[in-house]
Chains A and B, each alone.
Chain A
Amino acid sequence: MANAITIESVSKTYQRDKMSVPVLNNVSLEIPEGEFIALMGPSGSGKTTLLNLIAGIDRPTKGRILVGGTDISTLSETSLAKWRSSKVGFIFQFYNLIPVLTAFENVELPLTLTKLTKAERKRQVELALQVVGLSDRMNHYPKQLSGGQEQRVAIARAIASDPSIIVADEPTGDLDKKSADEIMTLLTRLNKEFHKTIVMVTHDPSAADRATLVRHLEKGDLLG
């Protein structure tokens, strides 16, 4: 199976005042299409940084990242924004829904960046909300939803534009066990039924158990 993501000798160093802080050291990783990979490791190990680099919201200091054959580390700011809007779905620990928009409008948000008509967008949004089981809550605002429901809306937003890759940063980190299980079941379904490549950062071993591949990071190094 072809690689969805290829990370070649990637290093990332942050500048803090006059100090250079290395976060990732020469990391190489191949993630085949349709894989569900969990990145684990202690705080500060560089797992979220690696996720951000894969998602194209940060740039490596050194090395190359190829996603679907595109070297995203060379893309311009504008091209990278366009690439993200069509290729990557984001799931955040604290859901990051826009509080002044309804569930429907939050899910529709990435679709406003596409050329879809209003009717087509409506169909896509309804389908995405149906997949996450929230068809009956589409006119609710985030504050009217539970944490688990908010995360399901966030998942619907992540899949609405049908991206090939979904990145999830601690998707169950802010949820109770029952809601966390529901979210992980949903992600597993997206991986199995909809063949989405999922890259997930987690501290939770039970969440990592649902992944098809688990890799550990420590002090910026990929283990194993």
Chain B
Amino acid sequence: MKIPFKYILRNFWARRLTTSITLGGVALVVFVFAAVLMMAYGVNKTLASTGSEENVIVTRKSSQGEITSIIDRETANIIYALPGIAKGSDGKPLASGEPVVVINLNKKSGGLSNVTVRAVAPPAFILRPQVKLKEGRMFKFGSRELIVGTSIAQNFEGASVGGTVKFAGDQWTIVGIFDANGGGFESEMWGDAEQLLAAFNRSSYSTITFKLANPDAFDGIQSAFAKEPRLQQFEPKIEKKYFEEQSEMMATFIRILGIFITVIFSAGAIIGAMITMYGAVANRTVEVGTLRALGFRRSSVLIAFLIESLIISFFGGCIGLLLASSLQFVKISTLNFSSFAELAFSFALSPSIIINSLIFALIMGFVGGFLPAIHAARLKIVNALRAS
């Protein structure tokens, strides 16, 4: 007892102006919805790709991020001696004690912003093979030289090869630019750990990162930390997991704020869909009466109008998603609440964002179309026919 599908489809063309306006409204809301999710996912993805499954990062327990963590050299030496850490060709542990600080730099777009300076030991480049020089040369250990990530080079004044930045009472020369497969390291400046510690008159690292001898070695590392009284205040984590967790606070904030805003927007789109569908019912009251007189049931009329609303919202959702997918080519830079430093990331689309956006669009269509569809189904045949 279904009303033919072509009746529904051709009515879109017959009411193309109102259909297009509703389609546009739904598309805009879905665009914002998808963009917010893509932004949150972009942050997740960027920071998650920063870490490796094969590396372990050690921080002080209860530190909120790398810059609030402190590990003294004595502790560092205990950690370096733990079994389960991979060794380099020289027999030394593949580990990097890293002081991490935040400095101010002028943005090209105007104003000051925080930038993370990570100072590393030579094994850092074995631990992070994704860090590759793109321009210039590697900094020399023992000198006040820096290499900067591509996002820093793009967004900050003077952050190009040959430029200098002033911090800790000294001039640091930028000698190279690196990329890191789109990861968070691209939003950092790297230099020699010992030089940075001396410049800041510090003796402690912020974190220690080392490579596992094998993937199963992490359990042994954890129990070693649990057993060794001098390591009780420190916590080892798989590097990838650590950076994922670092992204969570910012991603959650973006997600909650964004979804709150889009839910408010969606009320507008739902009202738009409702007005369109009430208009559709009002324009076709006689048709509804005729269909019912011919023998089509109330439920058939209800389903036909609901399907109509769902189709509009589905295609509106597809258009919104298509527009949002173009944001993947956009890279933005903003303050990461966890590190209090600038983080550059791209909008990223995932299958779950596509599914959630389309479900969101269909919910708008359903809510917007339900009351008008009920109204159409409940029309008395005699009254509907009299509308002519």
Contact = CB atoms under 8 A, between A and B. Distances in A.
Contacts of A90: 290, 293-294
Interface stretch (A35-43, A50-58, A122-130, A215-223): A50-58
B14 A57 contact: no
Interface-centre pick from A82, A84, A90, A98 (highest chain B CB count, 10 A)? A98
Interface string B257-299: 0000000000000000000000000000011011111111110
B382 interface: yes
Contacts of B4: 101, 105, 109, 112
A13 interface: no
Nearest to A52: B382
A110 B295 contact: yes
Interface residues of B, number: 26
Contact of A113 (B7, B14, B287, B296): B296
Contacts of B7: 98, 100-101
Nearest to A97: B290
A170 to B, nearest CB: 11
A94 B384 CA distance: 13
Given A96-B286, A99-B14, A109 B382 contact: no
Interface string B122-140: 0000000000000000000
A43 to B, nearest CB: 13
A85 interface: yes
A65 B249 CA distance: 72
A96 B6 contact: no
Interface string A64-96: 000000000000011001101110001011101
Interface string A148-163: 0000000001000000
A146 B313 CA distance: 37
Contacts of A96: 286-287, 289-290, 385, 388
B6 A81 contact: no
A98 B287 contact: yes
A94 B388 CA distance: 8
Nearest to B12: A100
B385 A113 contact: no
Contacts of A81: 1, 292, 295-297
Contact of A101 (B10, B295, B296, B388): B10
A98 B290 contact: yes
Contacts of B287: 96, 98-99
Contacts of A92: 290, 385, 388
Interface string B282-326: 000011011111111110000000000000000000000000000
B11 interface: yes
A92 to B, nearest CB: 7
B266 to A, nearest CB: 30
B327 interface: no
Interface of A: 52, 55, 57-58, 77-78, 81-82, 84-86, 90, 92-94, 96, 98-101, 105, 109-110, 112-113, 157
14 contacts: A81-B1, A85-B294, A93-B388, A94-B286, A98-B287, A98-B290, A98-B291, A99-B14, A100-B10, A101-B6, A101-B7, A109-B291, A110-B294, A110-B295
